[in-house]
Amino acid sequence: MRFVSRTAVVFFLALAPSLAVAGDAPRAVVELFTSQGCSSCPPADRLMAELSRREDLVALTYPVDYWDYLGWRDTLASGSNSQRQRDYAENRGDRAVYTPQIVVNGQDHVVGSDRAALRAALERAAPLPATVRLKRVGDLVEIHVEGRLPEGTRMASVSLVAVAPPVEVAIGRGENRGRSITYVNVVRELHAVGMWEGGSATFRLPLREMRRTGATGCAAIVQEERGGRPGRVLGVGRL
């Protein structure tokens, strides 16, 4: 596992078979922060491939760029992915930024390859108070959100996450030199769609916003914000 200073859907017996029920609405968002230059990351990347087949989870991969100086420039990474990870740490107040790191529902974080820790985090996760449904309407993606905001929360952000198809990367230098690693559900971009104030609301975004990133799928995340930084996830859906 690598640390960085804050200053500088159905077959998954190994984790928790009782939680993986076909047809379940997503009950949690699992976000992996990983790097092609991190020797500890491949087991977490393989775990994400398993998680991506579960109907009850939305599993998203965020390649980060802060290990690029080690000799291999991550071909999928972006600075916005790294910033999202830092924003989560800032909101939690623990400044824990490392790879591989999994964040569950925008709050709990565990080592990305630790199956037991992930299972425990999923068991701790509270039910999501918002129901999120996506559908394609012509050249638009339509996001319908329904539910109640938690007490004390005035509004929540709605984001559309553009997700790329699985890609195998042959790594030529650095700690993973000579390895070929497959990355699934790689986040290419997050689009801010609007703010949800509770109740029933519908948001729309042109499909061209997804297509230009090379994405073939998407998810919608509703989550609290604090100081402009993402926080607790309130609802999630996928298309």
Summarised one tens digit per residue, pLDDT across range 98-153 is 999 999 999 999 999 999 999 999 999 999 999 999 999 999 999 999 999 999 99
What separation, in Å, do the N-terminal and C-terminal C-alpha atoms of the chain show? 32
User: pTM of whole model > 0.85?
Assistant: yes
> In the chain, how many domains are there?
1
Reported as a single tens digit per residue, the pLDDT across 192-238 is 999 999 999 999 999 887 778 888 899 999 999 988 899 999 999 99
How many angstroms separate the CA atoms of 192 and 132, rounded? Answer: 15
- Which domain, by its residues, includes 34? 2-238
How many angstroms separate the CA atoms of 150 and 192, rounded? Answer: 21
Are 164 and 186 a contacting pair, CB within 8 Å? yes
Reported as a pLDDT band with limits 50, 70 and 90, residue 6 is very low
Reported as a single tens digit per residue, the pLDDT across 38-63 is 999 999 999 999 999 999 999 999 99
